[in-house]
Amino acid sequence: MQVEIDEYRDYDKAAGALRDAAKHLAKSKADGADVLMRSLEARTELVEQFVAARTRLAEGKVADAMAQCETMIGEFILIFGYFWLFWLFWLSYPYWQLD
């Protein structure tokens, strides 16, 4: 997948590779497969959203493409914000009081 994106800029192929990986992972019974599946699904959705935004831009639907990009950025900020809240809580927790 990364080769398609880095070298060829082919996000459609990258999304297909992610879908294939998810299909094969679904057959796996390994520990942690469910976590990997959620990660693959999130990455696939992100790549597909980017492809949709790029397609809208190519069609001349600039406002739709901008709205799609703003949605993607908003989702990133939401996830990143939750990460930082968790990190700050973890750092500020008074571990020295645990006995």
Q: What are the per-10-residue average pLDDT scores of the chain (99 residues)?
A: 71 90 90 87 90 94 94 81 72 61
User: Can you give the residue ranges of every domain in the chain?
Assistant: 2-97
Contact (CB, 8 A) for 49 and 71: yes
**pTM for the whole structure:** 0.69
Contact (CB, 8 A) for 21 and 1: yes
CA distance 51 to 49: 5
pLDDT of residue 63: 95
Residue 54, helix vs strand vs coil: helix
CA distance 46 to 36: 15
pLDDT of residue 79: 74
pLDDT of residue 68: 93
Sign of CA dihedral 51, 56, 60, 65: negative
Contact (CB, 8 A) for 66 and 57: no
